[in-house]
Chain A
Amino acid sequence: MSLATLTKPWAAFSYGFLDASAKRELRRKMLKAIAVPGCQMPYASREVPMARGWGTGGLQVTLTLLKPTSRVKVIDQGADDSVNAASIRKFLHRVSGATETWDTLDATIIQSRHRVPEERLRDDQILVLQVPNPEPLRPVEPNMSTARQMHADADYGRLWLVLYEQIVRSGRVMQGAAYPSLVNGRHVMTPSPIPRWDVPKLNMARHLTFLSAGREKRLYAVPPFTRVEPLAFSDVPYKVEDHGNLTCSRSGVTGFFMNEIPQEDGSAVHELSDSHLGIKAIRRAEGEAAPIGATWYQNGEFRA
């Protein structure tokens, strides 16, 4: 036996950047995450060539899944050409040879920050959500050890109290994005800072969702056909953003989540947040073949 038997031929980096041992750890934790939906699984979270907080958790999950035939879409705030999305997509391609795509229908893996695409995801697609803070209890309990105990005890009373206080004070729930939701009737998770508009898309969905926080070293999952219920009182129902009647000033499409663009004259216009859906709508209007898939919302209403 020699020292050489302990190692292997030198390579600048492994396929998919992460080395085999990092991938195995992620695989083990991803399986546990599927087995206990919505429960945060701690993982080592290796450093990757991107700053923490910039999608390193999602990146590690995606890198573990990637193979040369993968087709990967990356969005930030719904947009494929957002600077950080472009940077992540380029990196994924460079380290794996996977094909880059902007089209939700074409993608096998969709890594996203803050949005779920408007087109329904299929049962062969994986959504990887980047998570800045995986702990839904943090606003009521910053100490992670205490929060973990609260999850173990299914002790979510303080979260409910916060929602109740908001209703008393403001007449409505004031939680914007990252709406805490009960998964499989047991664990409350944060769906990552997606708007309330997107949370119903995770409930009893056909696709598999991984949520991964690299900096905080936690990952969790929502398997297909799993209940995801936003915390709400029976007499104050869950409300998504009031965007159902807004129209995109660029594509003319109505009934989806919009970006509001302030104008110099004091008014505002709107544009589709799901930027590639907008591109396809424009192309179709111009007579090009640009298939648009079934959408979760129709005429501004969510259809289960």
Chain B
Amino acid sequence: MAYVATRGGERAIEQSERLFRAELGRIDANRVAQIRNALPWLIDRVMGEASLYDRDLAALALAQTGGDLYEAVLVLRAWRTTQPRLAIAEPVTQERLFTHRRISAAFKDIPGGQILGPTLDYSHRMLATDVLEGRPFDPAPVTPAVRPAPAQQPSLAAWQKAQGLVADPPRADVAPDAIPDLTREPLLFPASRAHTLQSLARADTGGVLALGYSAMRGYGSAHPTVNELRLAEADLRVRHPRGTVFSAGRVRVSQAEVTSKGRNGQLELGFCATLGWNEVKTIAGATLDLNAPGAAKNAATDPEFFLYHTEPVEASGFCIHFKLPHYVTFQSALDALRGAKAASPAKEEVPA
């Protein structure tokens, strides 16, 4: 009779979701706005991995999932995939970026200058426990530079190209709607350049860091030097059906270009860019890209290896799927095991 009575599954899943959501409490526009304003770097990371640029939606996803990053990215990806593609933006070039931060480790100074911009790099990482004792933390005012840095900067690689230090990669002129799109086509290998960069752009920050770090520690053949790192805003220029090009707003982007010591008299470049500001991911991603040419099959620097394994939705989903019941497969394996044991009972009784 127990069989007939069981609709336990449906009740259980409903209640378990309620239990999760009860702890988060009411979600309203105010909570979403607070998350959006208080955690811009987290919002950026989530938007990059979701490949969906909308701070409100990213904040909502974080609110709804209680900050479980993989869940938040999944919610956003699932929403994103149902949206129509209205237009394809004009290409964004480095020279046109509104740059907030620009660092090169390769030279003491570079054309256009080094711009530190917003960073915790040189802060002392001390917890502001005063806040918990009732003494709020108010940031000190920023003193503007006497000579503000120009908003737009040339690309360092352009200078290197002019010097003959960097090979100009072959350019292919592709019609905008013929650009391979990872969200509408499967990733196959050898991957197109577009698929590789798109895949890195939406990769899991932690995953890219782990594999990129392994390459940095010597499991890759090329040691990276940061040629140019940028945190910037890109103007999103879209062509109206009537032909005029207009700005549809700005998105925050980050990009890293790393270089090796070079081979055959030329520097090699690795590149990674993503929506939102995320330095760790772009430096690690560019390091993987730098190490990809000629990487041994199944090495962490082999594109098939690092692109498959840093896909946040796939990797996290598969990891948590092991919670699902597997008792049929287990039963099947058990049957084979018992069959083998029955066939050779003598093996067990061999004296030591």
- Asked if chains A and B are in direct contact (CB within 8 A), the reply is yes
With beta carbons under 8 angstroms apart, the residue of B78, B185, B189, B333 that contacts A144 is: B189
Is residue B163 contacting chain A, with contact meaning CB distance below 8 A?
no
**A267 at the B interface (CB under 8 A):** no
Among A145, A196, A197, contact of B189 (Cβ-Cβ < 8 Å): A145
B241 to chain A, nearest CB (A): 4
Query: Chain B interface mostly helix, strand, loop or mixed?
Result: helix
- Check A77 against B327 for contact (C-beta < 8 Å): yes
Question: Within the complex, which residue of B77, B81, B86 is in contact with A3, where a contact is CB–CB below 8 Å?
Answer: B86
Q: Any chain B CB within 8 A of the CB of A2?
A: yes
Q: Are A195 and B241 in contact (CB under 8 A)?
A: no
A51-B321, A172-B336 given; A273·B82 CB < 8 A: no
Tell me, yes or no, whether B339 is within 8 Å of chain A by CB: yes
Q: Does B24 contact A (CB under 8 A)?
A: no
* A289 interface hit (Cβ, 8 Å): no
The yes or no answer to B242 lying at the interface (CB within 8 A) is yes
Is A14's beta carbon under 8 Å from chain B? yes
| Cα of A273 to Cα of B335 in the assembled complex, Å | 15
Structural contact, A53 and B321, CB atoms closer than 8 A: yes
Q: Inside 8 A of A242's CB, which chain B residues have their CB?
A: 335, 338-339
Q: Shortest beta-carbon distance, A87 to chain B, in Å?
A: 5
The reply on B194 being an interface residue by CB < 8 A is no
Q: Which residues of A contact B344 (CB under 8 A)?
A: 170-171
B residues contacting the other copy or chain, number (CB 8 A): 64
| Contact A90 B332, beta carbon cutoff 8 Å | no
What is the chain B residue whose CB lies nearest that of A49? B78
Per the bound structure, the CA–CA distance linking A278 and B332 in Å amounts to: 20
A196 and B335 CA atoms in complex are apart in Å by 10
Q: Which residues of A contact B313 (CB under 8 A)?
A: 47, 51-52
Is there a chain A Cβ closer than 8 Å to B325's Cβ? yes
> Nearest Cβ in chain B — how far from A230, in angstroms?
13
Out of B1, B74, B86, B184, name the residue touching A51 (CB < 8 Å).
B74
Report if B84 contacts A (CB, 8 A). Answer: yes
Taking a contact as CB atoms closer than 8 A, the residue among B298, B332, B340 that contacts A241 in the complex is B332
Residue of A51, A77, A83, A260 with most chain B CB atoms under a 10 A cut-off: A51
Q: Give bound CA distance, A218 to B326, whole Å.
A: 22
> Residues of A contacting B339 with CB < 8 Å?
172, 239, 242
Question: Is the Cβ of B240 less than 8 Å from the Cβ of A3?
Answer: yes
Least Cβ distance of B61 to chain A in Å? 12
Name the interface residues of B305-338: CB closer than 8 Å to any CB of A: 308, 313-314, 316-321, 324-338
Chain A residue nearest to B343 (CB atoms) is A171
B292 at the interface (CB under 8 A from A): no
Contact B74 A82 (CB under 8 A): no
A43 / chain B contacts, CB cutoff of 8 Å:
186
What does the 1/0 interface line of A104-117 toward B look like (CB < 8 Å)?
00000000011100
A184 within 8 Å of B (CB atoms): no
Contacts of A172 in B (CB 8 A): 336, 339-340, 343
- Are B3 and A176 in contact (CB-based, < 8 A)? no
Q: Considering only CB atoms, which chain A residue lies closest to B321 in the complex?
A: A53
Q: Knowing A47-B74, A174-B340 are in contact, say whether A22-B81 is a contact too (CB < 8 A).
A: yes
Q: B80 interface residue, CB < 8 Å from A? A: yes
Distance A5 CA – B240 CA, assembled complex (angstroms): 11
Does B236 sit within 8 A of A, measured CB to CB? no
A234 at interface by CB-CB < 8 Å: no
Contact in complex: A81, B7 (CB < 8 Å): yes
Does A94 sit within 8 A of B, measured CB to CB? no
Question: In the docked arrangement, what's the CA distance between A171 and B343, Å?
Answer: 7
A132 touching B321, Cβ below 8 Å = yes
Give CA–CA (A21, B188) in the complex, Å: 20
What A residues does B249 contact at CB under 8 A? none
Known contacts A175-B336, A259-B328, A275-B3; 13 additional CB pairs below 8 A are A3-B241, A19-B83, A19-B84, A54-B324, A81-B7, A81-B8, A83-B9, A86-B9, A144-B189, A170-B343, A241-B331, A259-B331, A282-B3
- 27 examples of A-B residue contacts, CB within 8 angstroms: A6-B86, A7-B86, A8-B84, A19-B84, A44-B184, A47-B77, A47-B81, A49-B78, A51-B316, A51-B321, A80-B9, A81-B7, A81-B8, A81-B10, A86-B9, A144-B189, A144-B304, A170-B343, A173-B336, A176-B333, A178-B329, A217-B186, A218-B186, A241-B335, A257-B331, A260-B334, A283-B4
Closest 3 CB pairs of A and B: A52-B317, A53-B321, A176-B333
